[in-house]
Amino acid sequence: MWDIRFLIFFILVLILAGVSAAIRKLRFIDVQIMIMIAALTMSCDMLFCKQYHLYYYVSSEYKGWYSFWANLIIIPALGLVFIKFVPKTVKEVAVYIAAWTVISTLFEILIAKPFGILVYSGWRIIPYSVIGYIFAFTWEYVYYRILLKHCKKE
């Protein structure tokens, strides 16, 4: 049931998140952000993947299995990497979000789709993924700023 393409992607993302957490210590706020990301991605996945059948991970037969692991581990881990290196100024954050959007979109176009990690049956990477990334990264940054404002400094 574990497809090698998905497993390699899974392990690489975990290593990337682990390195990020080692470079910049893991905080309570980071855990809260990962919980929020998991909740939102599972909700969106239920709609886009399960309800509208716009995409699935690796196998349509086991799409629930792969979606579960992607939404519970992979996407929150990538969110952790994103938030650990977020810059200070608003202008830098705008460039940072734009860069992450471009890199994520290129990853989908050049790696995820050709290698069958993600199979698109109705989803179009451009414009849907681009819009989704801009929204998701902006929301994650706003939520991060809200948590910083309301949580005690560690």
pTM value surpassing 0.75: yes
* Residue 56: both structure tokens together: 């699935």
Report in angstroms the alpha-carbon separations of 19 from 24, 29, 97, 150: 9, 18, 21, 27
Helical axes 75-84 vs 130-150, angle rounded to 10°: 60
Which pLDDT does position 151 carry in this prediction? 86
Tens place of pLDDT per residue across the chain (154 aa): 789 999 999 999 999 999 999 999 999 999 999 999 999 999 999 999 999 999 999 999 999 999 999 999 999 999 999 999 999 999 999 999 999 999 999 999 999 999 999 999 999 999 999 999 999 999 999 999 999 999 876 5
Omega before residue 127 within 30° of 0, cis: yes
Residue with tokens 């005690």: 152
